[in-house]
Structure 1
Amino acid sequence: MSNLHTHMQYNDPLTIIARKGDAVDPYVDRTDSLPVINSMITLLEIPSSTDKVVISGFVEIDQHVYEKKQKLAENEFLVHYGMGTIQFHPSQEGRVHLCRYKGRGLIMYPASRIYAMITRNPDVIKTLQDFIEESQRKLDETQLAMERVEEVIQQSIDQTGQARRATDHANQAADEAIEAANRAKDAYQTTRLVYKSPVSDLRELRDTYPFPEIGWTVQTYKDGKRYRYDGNNWIEIDLFGQNLQVVNPYRDGLMSVAEHLKLNEIPLEVQDRVIVFCKESYVFQEVIGVVAPFPFHGEILDVKGFCGVYGETETEIRIEKSRDLINWVDIMESPLEFNALAHVDNKKAKFSNKQVSAGDLFRIQIIKAGLDIQHLTIQLTIRT
């Protein structure tokens, strides 16, 4: 368990949660994926200067080396171990890097020691604690006002309920008289049949008679069904020619035996096949590919993207195709994109080339990796 140190000589102390770094309370391995902002990365914990910070593809330089040359190379970084910050070359601005280190703990500052300048004449400042207390006071006042409003609303509801009950009693007698008249009308409408010209099927029925009246009756000659409009929907009431036999290989029915055999000879050749690209854990600006060639001719039908852990920023992905694993061609007109905080893509991806030949190889190119996005799956559907 980490020790909690506070400087109690202050009313609002600075709090440090620190680990001892021994066998009982060791430093914790940390892996932070963070963006470079203003040439700096602020780690989520204070790193151990003994164990150092490791960033793939970069070299850490010491403070005294930096003081001599006063600048960093593109592949160098400087760690301020007391503050938990890492300084980079300006060319790394906006890029996300994976930082591995051993965490020593945290430094937490009280809200009363974080201030903002309100005006410069004269200099007036407010602390974060001032804003918090002022907000709480406003919330308390709002809560009291809402309680008074709720009392007035409840009184109005009670009065409205009394008036509604009186109106209900007055309307009940009129409703009973109307109900008796409606029952007589319903008895007539449920038995009335007004025959109209037949149509081919139910879809044509709705198009031909868009504003039917109760009792209209229409037959669909494709299947022999008869429909009656009941005031809300077309209801099937009977089937003309129910005694006709269905066709089989030996006897004619609703179609001839020859038509039946010819229909059975038509092959079902269309089939949708799927290529899946997966990346477990964190996703970076990288290439993810499928080594085996796709063995069929076809056409790209759709692409879908999913991620188990969404990214804090946008992600952009392109799909590339090759015949020799050397020359790759981008087949996207617009990329597959994940919006920030989204588990699925935004369905705006378009292809400039959908044709697939047997032997084509595919891969995905991560153009922009969202912050902390993990467990990526891309599903490419090809119709063969």
Structure 2
Amino acid sequence: MADVQKYLEYNDPLTIIVRSGSPTDPYKDRADSLPVINNMITLLEIPSKADRVTIAGMTEIDQEVFENRPHLSPTEFLVNYSIGAVQVHSSLEGTAQLCRFKGKGLIMYPASRIYALTNRNPDVVVTLQDYIEEIQVKLNETYDGIARLEQTILQSVEATNNAILATDNANKATQDAQSAAELARSAYDTTRLVFKEPVATLQNIPSKYPSPLVGWTVQTYKDGKRYRFDGSRWIEIDVFGSNLQVVNEFKDGLMSVLDYQKLKSFPVDLKEQVIAFSLPDAVQGVIENFIPFPFSGEITELSGYCATSGEMVTSLSLERTRDLKNWSEVTDRRLQFEPNQNFDDKKVTFKSSIVSKGDIFRINLNQQGLGIYNITVLLKIKI
């Protein structure tokens, strides 16, 4: 239960962000379509009293006029310029009204200062922060329960797969024994060649062709060797292109000297891959735009720019995963846009710049500056 005195202290003050109204920091023109709830319209910013609030087809009245009236007419409204609240006639309940004004700034209330009386006892107070903390505890308990359930399901699936695999292996062993007896009676099978798709190395052949027949022939494209299955094992029978020599700077081989020199002249930049994250109207939080990277490499740069700069600091972090469940932050010092800057401050650093084949990346908008729009983040990886 919350302590009233605790929240009367200045531990969690209100935060008010205001513009000066000067030529270098002018008030912001606003035109917002806002709903009428309980005869009130809540403006998105504190309005400038000098520039007034206008609503199409309606007339603003002063507080002194309203105090001498029993109620507002359907075409009148009253503005509280200190908090940005507009009072209207009850006949407009549930409608949306276009409010035009010049915004001076915002008032932000901490959750610890929004409270409710419990059992009508003024000494017993529950704040919004209390509810948030209680909800977070319940969420954490739920997440733990889900994780345990998922682990149990995975173990069950693994046990089922192992049982199926054991049955398949037993059936395959029986079939292999029968096939061996039949192949022993087929003398022609000892000389025939049945060419199959090549693989990288000899170690890849059993996984690619787990149940070969006598005569199957597979070439390994890394060394050009050919292997033939004789009924029990793979035997090397020849090397394709064994008479071809590798090229050097002085003699033609698998390519000409001219092509070899041209290949050596290519710049290292050709080995850099760029991943672009386009965030035209992103809001603060994780951006659900996942991009996998199919090569191993090293991160060389993370940079960004925006079409419209923000009025406060904006920071973004780069995160990666391999299973779309467990995400880790790559950045040590995050990508950051200073106020009123269209480009990042070029001070980002990384916890680890090594990239593994199959890594999946995403952007987390940790802090969104007011007014920033259309952000593009570029990730360069050298392979």
What is the TM-score normalised by the length of structure 2?
A: 0.40
Please identify the structure whose Cα radius of gyration is greater. 1
